[in-house]
Amino acid sequence: FLSMRRECGKVTFADLPSKMSNLKVVGESLTGEERASFLEKTYKDMDEEVDFEAFLR
């Protein structure tokens, strides 16, 4: 998360699907389309900045 934030200054929900592929649990079990679909259903505004602490909950 911190490295993503350093790259562009903020992290949006739209940034997450590609980066989630680096996580063993999510990256190995879900396709990129499945990760994106999950986030789109959960977070309506994909351009919204991610609050890391809230996201972990």
pLDDT tens-digit profile of 32-43?
888 888 888 888
pLDDT tens string 1-57: 666 666 667 778 787 777 777 676 666 677 888 888 888 888 888 888 877 777 666
Structure tokens at 56: 């972990």
Instruction: Count the alpha carbons within 13 Å of 29 in the hemisphere toward its beta carbon.
Output: 4
pLDDT at 6: 62
Distances (CA, A) of 10 to 4, 27, 36, 47: 8, 22, 18, 10
AA letter at 12? T
Q: pTM above 0.85?
A: no
